[in-house]
Structure 1
Amino acid sequence: MKIAAITKISALIKENPEAIDTIASINGHFEKLRNPLLRKVLASRVTIADAARIGGCDVELFFQKLAPLGFVVEGKFVHIPNQHAEAASIESPAYLKNLPESNLITLDVREAITEGKDPFTQIMSAVKEVTPGKALLLINTFEPTPLLEILKKKNFQYHLDTKSENLVYTYFWPENKTRSIAEPSLEGADTEFETGIARFAGKVKRIDVRHLEMPQPMVTILSELEDLAPDEALYVVHKRVPQFLLPQLQERGFQLNISEAGPDQVYLLIYT
């Protein structure tokens, strides 16, 4: 397999599962890849360049370690600058300087990560509380690269403050006063859902996640989508509209039709 700095970690693992141990050996930050839950959530959004930046090492080191597994660097390596470097180096923005301490929501996810838990749901719950005039302080052991991209798409600004090698403060706040996290529109959803079912007749894979504890429904759905063919659709029976799954589907380029059949019964049709 040919690889480059923009190759996703999930692609490496899918090609050769031994990549998990190889990457984990590069830096202590990557030990979390051994945890199946965090691997499902993080690996699909993090590139080799992102991982190198998080671990504070060179991309070339990844290439050297992965070469014995049969991975070949595609073309001549070109250094990819840290797109978040400016946010990490500038002084605290005026918004944060003028923010009352009582309006700062603090969330420390270091313990959750150490225990092998996925803090994404907890983080996104906290984000929903960040209304205009407030900010979220996320305390982590590394730069939360995937989260930066997700919240940028939701019109949040951020500021990185690297305290030490294993301590990073990341601040998030709404880009403007009118910003709010929109709920999905269900107008005409049933009609679209039935149209989608008809479109993928005979090529629909069905799963029921109602019996699973959080965050297993999201993890299960994302896992199934990794193997979904372009001409197939995933039919999910859920207890609710999965708010925290929506931005991840959007990021991966999936379309979603929703049909609310009744209490604790929601149908999702996911496709590309």
Structure 2
Amino acid sequence: MLRPITLQTKIWDLLEDYPQLEETLLEISPAFAKLKNPVLRRTIARVTTVKQAALIAGVEAGNVVILLRKAAGLDGGGESGSTATEKGDMTIEERGKYCGDRPHWYSPDRVKQSFDASAILNSGDVPMSQIIKAAQELSPGEIYEFTTPFLPTPILDILLRKGFLVWSEMGQSGDTYSNRVTRL
């Protein structure tokens, strides 16, 4: 049975189930030409999701999913009947988990360290270990702040599971998120 095409689908799985979509990816962005390299295809494609690949290619991930679904002859709608919001490819419910009113624990003067993760993410690397390490070094009440070009749900989920409090806020331009982490 063919797997559904979602933001979380691994590129390797996508091309295993739908080999014809390699051409569609190349039409979407020349950055996907790296998939022609057999070494990169066997290594990077196995761990890279459609969402991550779209970020690396500099294209809107939600649009990539829709185009891939159409090319595969599948329904082009959003996952599980929900539609992605215009910015960040997150459903409103997913974004609401982290973005809301300013929490009582946040104060700019409590920010111990700030980090702009955008350059690292845009180069294709993932600064997850740096972010977790910095958060673990916080004293109670201190805040670690990091900026990303999208809402980094996986890292925020990990931080929550580790007992941290998190809060994200979309920048005024709509193309960045300021993510705050603390422990009480």
TM-score range, shorter chain: 0.5 to 0.7
Contact preservation (8 Å) 2:148, 2:176: yes
Between 1:11-20 and 1:119-128, the stretch displaced more is 11-20
Runs (5+) with no aligned partner, structure 1: 178-272
Runs (5+) with no aligned partner, structure 2: 84-90
Q: Where does residue 95 of structure 2 map in the other structure?
A: 85
Pairing partner for 1:171 from 168, 177, 180: 180
* One-letter code aligned to 2:14: L
2:167 partner SS: strand
1:83 partner SS: helix
Q: Where does residue 8 of structure 1 map in the other structure?
A: 9
RMSD: 4.2
Change (3 A) 1:74 1:113: closer
Q: Where does residue 68 of structure 2 map in the other structure?
A: 65
1:100 partner SS: helix
Structure with bigger strand share is 1
Distance across 2 between alignment mates of 1:118 and 1:90: 25
Distance across 1 between alignment mates of 2:93 and 2:66: 21
Change (3 A) 1:107 1:79: same
- 1:182-233 CA-partner distances (Å, limit 9, x unpaired): xxxxxxxxxxxxxxxxxxxxxxxxxxxxxxxxxxxxxxxxxxxxxxxxxxxx
Residue 105 of structure 1: how far off its partner (Å): 2.0
Contact preservation (8 Å) 1:135, 1:171: yes
* One-letter code aligned to 1:8: T
Distance across 1 between alignment mates of 2:112 and 2:45: 30
Pairing partner for 2:104 from 84, 94, 104: 94
Query: Matched residue pairs, number?
Result: 162
Between 1:14-23 and 1:160-169, the stretch displaced more is 14-23
Distance across 2 between alignment mates of 1:19 and 1:150: 32
> TM-score, structure 1 length as denominator?
0.45
* One-letter code aligned to 2:74: V
Between 1:161-170 and 1:108-117, the stretch displaced more is 108-117
Q: Give aligned-pair identity as a percent.
A: 16
Distance across 1 between alignment mates of 2:7 and 2:125: 26
Q: Where does residue 158 of structure 1 map in the other structure?
A: 166
Structure with bigger helix share is 2
> TM-score, structure 2 length as denominator?
0.62
Residue 104 of structure 1: how far off its partner (Å): 2.8
Change (3 A) 1:5 1:134: same
Distance across 1 between alignment mates of 2:14 and 2:97: 29
Distance across 2 between alignment mates of 1:133 and 1:5: 38
Change (3 A) 1:19 1:94: farther
